[in-house]
């Protein structure tokens, strides 16, 4: 080889241990993996921009069903699927032809950017627009929109942010929700705090309205509640050990859905193991109790930070 002779100390290539320790993003054909040099990781599928793993403090923090389809054939059962532009199934509304929870969780997103700003965090942005939707989905919801979903991994948190833009010539409206399946050691030994005094719609009771009486919501049967306009921080606590497992902080997301299917999990085809409901609790931050209006050219941004 012609050229200057390099002595080993001239080489700019990092030593192997430095490569392993550096924070970085690894892009594969169907997913992005984020690594922090301190050991935390996250894994996000392009399908749905679904976060399927978040490891922090040496433990997996998200529940992912062992029967979840990860091949893009159906929405992922577990992790953090994104709900947009409709929560549940609507009727008499422009979203009423869309399937339950909309199309964001079943569309393939594009990677927009990855940047390691420091050793303390790493971020990846995904984008979704009409050009990423199937012809059928476009027919079901023909509006022009742009979404940017930003996932940031820090040493102690997983931060997610959704930017929504109306890029069309007519107004439309939407729901959005971060459908987070938190992993818990034993769901019967945790409590959700921060909901006392909040009005909720109880889907297990046919949508009846009630007010949360307790500062410690415990789970001993099926729970499916939409807490409306939750004022502050919600936490998941281990009541046996007396320690906070997760702190959920929201920005511009009024509502919190708490869901555990309990033994109904047995009837959910892609839920496994059958008793896996004991190790999960969905605490879902969203804007779902009323439609978010989007005038032509307007932006909306909402986000959630889950800390351990």
Number of residues that bind ligand BG6 (CB under 6 A): 9
Residue 100 as a binder of ligand BG6 (CB under 6 A): the answer is: yes
Residue with Cβ nearer ligand BG6 (68 or 158): 68
Q: How far is the CB of 250 from ligand BG6 (least distance, A)?
A: 16
173 is catalytic: no
Please select the residue that binds ligand BG6; options are 154, 283, 284, 292, rule is CB under 6 A.
284
Question: CA 33 to CA 45: how far, in whole Å?
Answer: 9
Residue 203 as a binder of ligand BG6 (CB under 6 A): the answer is: yes
Question: CA 122 to CA 134: how far, in whole Å?
Answer: 31
**Cis geometry, peptide bond prior to residue 273 (ω within 30 degrees of 0):** yes
Residue 76 as a binder of ligand BG6 (CB under 6 A): the answer is: no
Q: How far is the CB of 229 from ligand BG6 (least distance, A)?
A: 17
Q: Mask: binding to ligand BG6, 214-233, rule CB under 6 A, as x and -? A: ----------x---------
> 169: annotated binding-site residue?
no
Active-site pick, 43, 101, 179, 212: 179
Question: Rg (Cα) of the chain, in Å, rounded?
Answer: 21
Q: How far is the CB of 205 from ligand BG6 (least distance, A)?
A: 12
Contacts of 68 (CB under 8 A, 6+ apart): 52, 76, 77, 78, 79, 270
Active-site pick, 40, 43, 212, 284: 284
Question: CA 55 to CA 79: how far, in whole Å?
Answer: 12
Residue 259 as a binder of ligand BG6 (CB under 6 A): the answer is: yes
> 77: annotated binding-site residue?
yes
Residue 101 as a binder of ligand BG6 (CB under 6 A): the answer is: yes
Q: How far is the CB of 104 from ligand BG6 (least distance, A)?
A: 12
Residue with Cβ nearer ligand BG6 (185 or 207): 207
Q: How far is the CB of 257 from ligand BG6 (least distance, A)?
A: 5
179 is catalytic: yes
Contacts of 65 (CB under 8 A, 6+ apart): 77, 78, 270, 271, 272, 276
Residue 74 as a binder of ligand BG6 (CB under 6 A): the answer is: no
Return the structure tokens found at 206: 């046919």
Please select the residue that binds ligand BG6; options are 122, 192, 257, 283, rule is CB under 6 A.
257
Return the structure tokens found at 112: 């927009």
Residue 254 as a binder of ligand BG6 (CB under 6 A): the answer is: no
H helices of the chain, in order, are 16-21, 135-140
Query: Collapsing DSSP states into helix, strand and coil, what is residue 126?
Result: strand
Classify residue 241 as left (phi > 0), alpha (psi -120 to 50) or beta.
Answer: alpha
The string over 151-184, giving b where at least 16 C-beta atoms fall within 10 Å of a residue's C-beta and e elsewhere, is bbbbbebbbbbbbbbbebeeebbbbbbbbbbbbb
Q: Using CB under 6 A, list all residues that contact ligand BG6.
A: 75, 100-101, 179, 203, 224, 257, 259, 284
Q: Provide the annotated binding site.
A: 77, 100, 105
Binding residues for substrate are 77, 100, 105
- The set of catalytic residues is 179, 284
């Amino acid at each position: 080889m012609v050229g200057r002779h390099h002595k080993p100390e001239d080489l700019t290539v990092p030593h192997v241990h430095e490569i392993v320790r550096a924070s970085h993003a690894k892009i594969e054909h169907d997913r992005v993996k984020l690594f922090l040099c301190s050991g935390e990781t996250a894994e996000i599928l392009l399908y749905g921009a679904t976060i399927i793993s978040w490891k922090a403090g040496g433990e997996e923090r998200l529940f992912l069903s062992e029967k979840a389809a990860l091949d893009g054939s159906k929405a992922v059962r577990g992790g953090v699927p994104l709900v947009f532009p409709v929560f549940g199934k609507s009727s008499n509304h422009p979203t009423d032809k869309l399937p339950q929870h909309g199309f964001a969780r079943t569309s393939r997103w594009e990677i927009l950017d990855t940047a390691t700003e420091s050793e303390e965090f790493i971020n990846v942005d995904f984008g979704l627009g009409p050009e990423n939707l199937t012809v059928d989905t476009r027919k079901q919801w023909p509006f022009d929109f742009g979404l940017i979903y930003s996932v940031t991994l820090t040493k102690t948190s997983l931060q997610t942010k959704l930017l929504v833009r109306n890029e069309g010539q007519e107004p439309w409206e939407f729901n959005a929700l971060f459908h987070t399946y938190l992993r818990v050691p034993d769901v019967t030994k945790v409590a959700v705090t921060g909901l006392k005094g909040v009005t909720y719609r109880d889907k297990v009771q046919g949508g009846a309205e009630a007010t949360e009486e307790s500062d410690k919501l415990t789970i001993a049967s099926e729970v499916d509640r939409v807490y409306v306009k939750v004022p502050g921080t919600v936490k998941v606590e281990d009541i046996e050990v007396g320690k906070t497992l997760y702190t959920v902080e929201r920005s511009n997301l009024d509502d919190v859905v708490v869901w555990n299917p309990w033994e109904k999990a047995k009837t959910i085809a892609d839920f496994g193991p059958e008793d896996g409901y004991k190790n999960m609790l969905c605490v879902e931050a969203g804007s779902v109790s009323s439609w978010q209006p989007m005038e032509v050219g307007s932006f909306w941004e909402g986000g959630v930070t889950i800390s351990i």
